A and B are shown apart, each in its own frame.
Chain A
Amino acid sequence: MNSMLVVARKEFRDDFRNRWTIAVAILFAFLALGIAYFGGAAAGKVGFTSFEATLASLTTLAAFIIPLIGLLIAYHTIVGERDNGTLLLILSYPLSRAELLTGKFVGHCAALGAAALAGFGLAVAIIQLMQPPTRTLAAWLQIGNFIASASMLGASFVALACVISVITDDKSRAAGLALVMWFASVVLFDLALLAVLVFSGGNHAEQAVYPYLLLLNPIDVFRLINLTTLGHGAGNDLFMGMTASHVYHPAMLYLVMLSWIVVPFWIALSVFRRKEV
C-alpha cells in the first residue's frame, strides 16, 4: 500500500513536471471561457449567455478531448518503463505488480482530476464573477457534476491506456494503438450506432435496445450524465432525441461509468500479472 502511494506520487509529480497537468488545466480553462463567451455567436450575440448552454457545449468538446488526454498521459505507463530498462529493475524491488500498476494509475488519474478541477473551476469562477445571475447553487451542482464525470471519463481512458501499455512491447506501437482507440471510441462508435439507427429505421425492438448500446462507450455515458441533467434546448437535441424514450437514473449512469474504470483496469492488471518480463 505504501509502495503504491510512492509510485502514485512520482507519477503525479512527473505529470506536473512534464507540464502535462498545467497545459491541460489551461486548455480546459480557455475552452470553458471561450465557449462561454463565444457560444452565442451563432445567435448574433457575443458574451456570457446561458450557463446551461455553455455546459452543454463544453460537454461535447470535453467528450473529444478528455479521452485523448487520458490516453496520451498514460499509454507509456508500463511500456515506457520497459523501453527505459527500468521495468526489470522496479520489479526486482519489494513491490508487487499490482502495486506498481495501481500506483501509476492513481497518479495519472489524480493529475488529470487536478487539471480538470483547476481548469474548469477557474473558468466557472470567472464566468460567475462576470455574470452575477449565474451565481446559483444549481449552477455549482451542475459544474460539480461535470467535473466529477469528466474526471471519471479521464480515469476510464487512463485505465484503457494501461491495458494498451501492458499488451504492447514498444512505445511507438502503444502510441499508435492509443490513437486508434481514441478514434474508434470518439468517432467510429457513434457512427456505427448512427448507421444501425438509419438502416433499422427505428423499430420498437431497436428503440428499446438503443439506450443500452450507448452505455457501451464511456464517452456516451459521460454525455448522458451531463446532458440528461441539463435537459432540452441546450444544443444537443439530436442526442437527446435519440434517447428520450429512456430515462437514465443518474446513480445508474455513475455506476456504469465506474465500471468503465474498474473493468479495464482489472483487465490491465490481470494481463500484467501474467506477462513474462
Chain B
Amino acid sequence: MQNAIEIAALCKRYERVTALQEISATVPNGQVIGLLGHNGAGKSTLIKLILGLIAPTSGHVKVLGETPWGSHTHPLRRRLGYLPESVAFYGNLTGQEVIDYLASLKHAPRQQSRQLLERVGLGHAAGRRVSGYSKGMRQRLGLAQALLNSPEIVLLDEPTAGLDPQATRELYAIIGELRQAGRCVLISSHLLAELEPHIDGALILREGQLLAAGSMIGLRRQAGLPSIVSVRLDAQTDGSGLAQDLEHLGVVHAIQPDGRLEIQIPEDGKVDLLRSILGHPIIADVEVREPTLARLYDWLGANQRRNAGELP
C-alpha cells in the first residue's frame, strides 16, 4: 500500500536557525500518527513543509505521491485538511459564514459545511459570531474546516490545546472515526500522556532531529523499557517469602515512600514474575504499568545525549 506521506533527508534552515535536519520517515495510509516533541522541536515546521507552505532547504517530501509545493498543487490541497495552532478565525463572521467561506475556497459540497458543524457539536452556535466563541468552540470550528471535502490526510497542530476534557474526548472520538474511514491523521502535540491511547505510531522530534519513528509497539520494543509492577503490601502479614523470591529472581525492586513495592521487569518476564509472586499472602493489590510515551520520550532524549557524549 502506498504511504500517505514520505519524507526523505529533509532539511529546513532559516537564516540562523536549523529548524529541521535530515528527517527521513514515512507515514502509512489509514493510521493515526503522533508528531511529538517539545515546543520548538520542529513540529510546526514539518507540518508546513508537508502542506507545501514553505519549501525545504534540501530533501524531499511526497504527499499522496506528489510534491506539495510549487504551482500545480491545488488538486493535492483539496485532499488535505489542516488545523493550525491557535487559530482565531474571523470574529465578525458567524460560525456558519466562516465555514461556508472556507468551503467555497476548497470547492467542498455546499451542504457539507452544515453537517460538519453538527458533527463537531457547533450546530447550536452556527448563527453566532465567532468573536463570542470560547477557545474550545474555535478549535471545534477549526476541526470542522479541516474535515471539509473529506480529506485523505488530516494534519492537526496541537488540536487539544486549551480544550476541556469533554471536548478533548469528543475530538479523539472524531479522530477515531477518521481512522475507521481509512484516513491518515497526523497530530502534533506535546501532551504525550493524553495522546498515547489514541495513536498507532509516532514521529518523535527533538531540536530539529528525528529521534525515532515507527509504531508504538515497535518503539517500545526498540527502547526495551521495563514494565513496572506496583504491589500494595498487607502490613499484618509476614513478607519474608516475597523478599526471598525477589532476590532469587534478581529483579530490581524498591519500597516507595507511599509503602508500595515497585518492581521493574522487562516486557518478556512480566507474566512469569506475576505467576511466581501472586501466591504470597502479603500481596493485597497489584497494578501493572506499561512504559508510557513520556518515559519513552525521556529515554530517547537521554539516549541522544549519551550518543552525543553529553552524558557519561
Q: Does A190 contact B (CB under 8 A)?
A: no
Distance A27 CA – B51 CA, assembled complex (angstroms): 45
Report whether B90 and A84 are in contact in the complex, using a CB–CB cutoff of 8 Å.
yes
Chain B CB within 10 A, most for which of A86, A92, A93: A92
Distance A123 CA – B154 CA, assembled complex (angstroms): 54
Report whether B82 and A3 are in contact in the complex, using a CB–CB cutoff of 8 Å.
no
Report whether A93 and B88 are in contact in the complex, using a CB–CB cutoff of 8 Å.
no
In chain B, positions 76-110 with a C-beta closer than 8 Å to chain A are: 77-78, 80, 82, 84-93, 101-102, 104-107
CB distance from B105 to the nearest CB of A (A): 5
CB distance from A198 to the nearest CB of B (A): 47
In chain A, positions 45-102 with a C-beta closer than 8 Å to chain B are: 83-86, 88-96
Q: Does B74 contact A (CB under 8 A)?
A: yes
Per the CB 8 Å criterion, the residue count for chain B at the interface is 31
Check A85/B90 contact, CB under 8 A, given A10-B101, A90-B105, A92-B51: no
CB distance from B309 to the nearest CB of A (A): 34
The interface size bin for chain A is 20 to 34
| Secondary structure call for the A interface | helix
Q: Does B232 contact A (CB under 8 A)?
A: no
| Chain A 177-215 interface 0/1 with B at a Cβ cutoff of 8 Å (1 = within) | 000000000000000000000000000000000000000
In chain A, positions 1-17 with a C-beta closer than 8 Å to chain B are: 3, 6-7, 10, 14, 17
CB-contact partner of B105 in A6, A88, A276, A277, under 8 A: A6
Distance A10 CA – B101 CA, assembled complex (angstroms): 8
Check A85/B74 contact, CB under 8 A, given A10-B101, A93-B106: no
Q: Does B277 contact A (CB under 8 A)?
A: no
Distance A95 CA – B78 CA, assembled complex (angstroms): 10
Distance A90 CA – B87 CA, assembled complex (angstroms): 11
Check A84/B89 contact, CB under 8 A, given A94-B78, A277-B53: yes
Distance A93 CA – B104 CA, assembled complex (angstroms): 10
Chain A CB within 10 A, most for which of B78, B82, B84, B89: B84
Q: Does B191 contact A (CB under 8 A)?
A: no
What are 11 pairs between A and B in contact, CB < 8 Å?
A: A6-B104, A7-B105, A84-B87, A85-B84, A85-B88, A86-B90, A88-B84, A89-B102, A93-B105, A94-B107, A96-B71
A-side residues, CB < 8 A to B, are 3, 6-7, 10, 14, 17-18, 83-86, 88-96, 276-277
B-side residues, CB < 8 A to A, are 14, 48, 51, 53-54, 71, 73-75, 77-78, 80, 82, 84-93, 101-102, 104-107, 142, 145
